[in-house]
Chain A
Amino acid sequence: MSTFDVRGRYGRYTVESVPVSKGGVGSIHRTTDPGWVYKQYFDSAKAPGLPQLDRLIGIGRDVLIRDGRKPGETPESSVNWPVDVSVDANDAVQGVILPAIPPSLFNEYDSVRGLEFLVMARANPPSAKGRIALLLRMAEILNFIDSRRLVHGDINGKNLAWAMTPAPIMYLIDCDGMVAQDPPPDQGVQAMGWTDPRVIDHLIPAHDRYSDWYCLALAMYRGLLLTAGKLDSKRPDGNWPEPKAIPADLDPAIAGLLRRGLCDPLDPAARPRPAEWVKGLVSAYLDHGRFDDAATQKLDQLSVVAQAKPTFTPLPPTDWSQFLPATSASQPPQPAPQQVPVWPQPTSPVRPAVPSRPVPTVPAPPACPPPPSYRPAAQVGGLAARAIEGGTGWHLRGLLCSLFLPAIALGYIGVALYQLRDLYDRYPVAAVRRNALCVYAAIAVIPFFLDLIFIIGKQ
């Protein structure tokens, strides 16, 4: 593994040349210390500014090095703080040293288990207690960021990683671009589904501190209720949609926070601060440091994802045999014909015919969706398929053997004709396979006749 040396302001690092991942502005490289990675910017001009990085590094070193906190241990250490910076001779930023993301935050797809896996029903998120614990931690992380007068600016489904075991961890990533709250940022990036409506309406140029609060409210709405909650598209009437999935019996304090955060998306002053979410979640779902089981069970019920259930309609009782088509195969068993007695039978007066009752009309059952029309072609013409896709040598050896045994030739002809029949029956056209089978059958006819001539000549 080739390496290169990076000289930072606080130390020297040996860095692997091959990156472990690449992003929009830089690549991530392992260092010889498994606790740290190096982020190398593709273009110094697009790297964060040095004064801004110095501020972040100051906090990061206090938390992670001076206080010795491990990533994810506390809210302040649950931020991927840069702890060192590499600059060139002109003080242009080349890269930063960051904490390695803990392995427990990666999922079976070798990517970080992002917030979207917590708030989207399709990703099979944890039950209410797990979601509350992680969302509470998210609010505490953003509260710390806010207390340091910083803006993350790109809170979205991928920039928070989480794990439930061995202990619940929420971890904020992509933090080297964090900026001061004042003055508000004039440029930044936004993710689909996590964009402040004020940016879409061009009221502000980029996400600011209130945008972080908006995204926190969105995460709460989606994560607590497991609703799609996509609110960043205007309605046809030009107004912003209000959240429609807040149940009437949701905890009133939580419902109030959700409404404040999302109902008037152009009024940032109404949005709850992260600290209000911490207080609200604790008071709604925790009781003296323990989960309030009744409250969490209720949230589990409120956030049940509606699944389409199979229906079963009881059908009216009737004689179903009368609806069968008149084919012998579908007729019900008929009573055996009775033997005609040979002695005279007493005759009885002819009874008047009983009028037949009207047959009740049977409602048509609901239409079933048609089965998929695709039938893989593996089942038919397999002999030809094998020949076409690499089995030719095997077949040629078989045909050579048929020179000595007419039964083998006959077998070839039979199998080829049988498969040809399948091809004609099930596929109107499967030209290559059909032609291949015809060729095999024709070739097999030649040794068959040679065998016959040989046998007749010998006799």
Chain B
Amino acid sequence: MNSAEELYTIFPVFMLLDVSASMSGGPIEAVNAALPDLKREMLSNPTVGEIARVCVITFSDEGRVAVPLCDLAYADLPEIMVEGGTNFAAGFRAARQAIEDGLRALPKGTPLYRPVVFFMSDGAHMAREDWHPALASLRDKSWKFAPEVVAFGFGDAENNNIREVATRFAFQVKDIDPVLQVREIMNALIGSIRTTSMSFRDPGQAQGLHLETPAEFFTPLEPLTTDA
């Protein structure tokens, strides 16, 4: 019954979550509590559910796809567990692969907005390898699916790293309690997905991405390099 011409344009969202050991306890529990809330958003708001496709990627020493790009309303959610160290490069590689796999798996002709990666980390890169080539590969402008990267730092995250990761938007969470910090980031993600999905514009355009990052909780950071 559906004509391809009349389909909603898909808004692909990739959540790139730090699951290093420092996330153990409250922070990882806050992440696990937020994922059902995101699923509930897709169920309680059918228009958002029709538009947003979500992928959850975790990284510590390795990057993994915890939930492949999908309609989250119909997904079984895994429990995200803490792992080991912090390797940004592994996360960026996994994100690029997940974007490539996820978007190519969509039915041919599916209208798409530019994907958005929401990066969240509470620490500094700890592996020997340089993470910048992997980030450059993820943000490579010549790549068909080059995403917008929105970075959130909290805990011991270094502001300069967060600023480097973001394409246009970087934030440091104000709260001191790491559990509240994670909760505020996840609320911001859910709100941003909701508002952007219901808006008229391509999230990749200047005014297209609507970030629900209230000033009482988030400090905007100036990105070091921008794609805009």
Contact = CB atoms under 8 A, between A and B. Distances in A.
A192 interface: yes
Interface residues of B, number: 40
A120 B1 contact: no
Interface string B51-88: 00000001001101111100001000011111111000
Given A376-B81, A390-B25, A432-B84, A241 B73 contact: no
B61 A227 contact: no
B21 interface: yes
Interface string A101-136: 000000101010000110010110000000000000
Nearest to A388: B24
Interface string A130-168: 000000000000000000000000000100000000000
B43 interface: yes
B79 A376 contact: yes
Contacts of A304: 1
B65 A372 contact: yes
Nearest to B111: A233
Given A228-B50, A372-B68, A389-B24, A432 B3 contact: no
Contacts, number: 116
A228 B2 contact: yes
B7 interface: yes
Nearest to A243: B6
Contact of A373 (B1, B65, B79, B85): B65
Contact of B6 (A122, A191, A244, A378): A244
B109 interface: no
Contacts of A428: 61-62
A345 B148 CA distance: 83
A427 B62 CA distance: 9
Nearest to B29: A389
Q: Is the interface of A mostly helix, strand, loop or mixed?
A: loop
Contacts of B80: 376
Given A389-B24, A432-B21, A157 B7 contact: no
Contacts of B47: 116, 120, 157, 192-193
B84 A229 contact: no
- Among A226, A372, A385, A433, find the residue whose CB has the most chain B CB atoms closer than 10 A: A372
Given A122-B73, A389-B25, A431-B84, A228 B6 contact: yes
The 7 A-B pairs at the shortest CB distance, nearest first, are namely: A109-B44, A244-B3, A431-B84, A429-B61, A432-B21, A377-B81, A123-B46
